[in-house]
Structure 1
Amino acid sequence: MAPPTASASARPIPLVTPDAVTSGSSILRELWADPLSMLFSMSTVKQYEKELRTHVAIELALRKTIANVHNRASASETTLEQVYLKNTELERKAARAESLNAQLELKVILAEAAVKEAREEA
């Protein structure tokens, strides 16, 4: 086999020169070294984009869920506070009713004593 001639081994002039590659980004250097890696890189980029969209959707769903839980907790806090205030009000009314009941019992006892005394005098 004859050694290749200059015309047979001549490569087409690349759009990106080796100088541009060495002074450029690492991605260009990688692509210059292995042009097939570009196909892998594009599929990887698309895969990453898909995963990123999925993660963004999950994050948005989680944020929405957290906001809903926070709103429910705030509503529950408000409801709990209302229940506490109502309970306090009912306790005050119960204490007032007990006080009135005690006063009425005292009046009944005094009235019974007055009736008994009036019967004894009569």
Structure 2
Amino acid sequence: MAKKDVRKIGKKMDKSKARKWVKDYQKKNPNGTHGWLYGSDILEALQNYDGCEGIWFFKGINDDGEERLVLFPADADGNILDKKMKSLGAAANLKNPGDDDPADDGDTCPPWCPNGV
């Protein structure tokens, strides 16, 4: 299989199709978490990891049993740039050694949901 350009994974989609997908999911999962919001500061911090070409979004369960997203920066091969989590991907040289923690703590919908979806 040919190597993928990690930077180019994902694409824009039609707004009406996007809204339909979200509404269909919400109808099938009325009591579930419908979305997560992350600020530009944490996304930029992840993107600033030396060698970051993309960001992985993994579902997890926190200590209170709540479904959460955990974000990890990824290298050009899709490996996680996190020295502490070698089981999930390759280690990498970071600009700020010791500053290699993944991200969490996005706001969820519900309770805070945007208009227009």
TM-score of Structure 1 vs Structure 2, range by shorter chain: under 0.3
Q: What is the TM-score when the length of structure 2 is the normalising length?
A: 0.17
Bigger helix share = 1
Bigger strand share = 2
Higher relative contact order (CA 8 A, sep 6+): 2
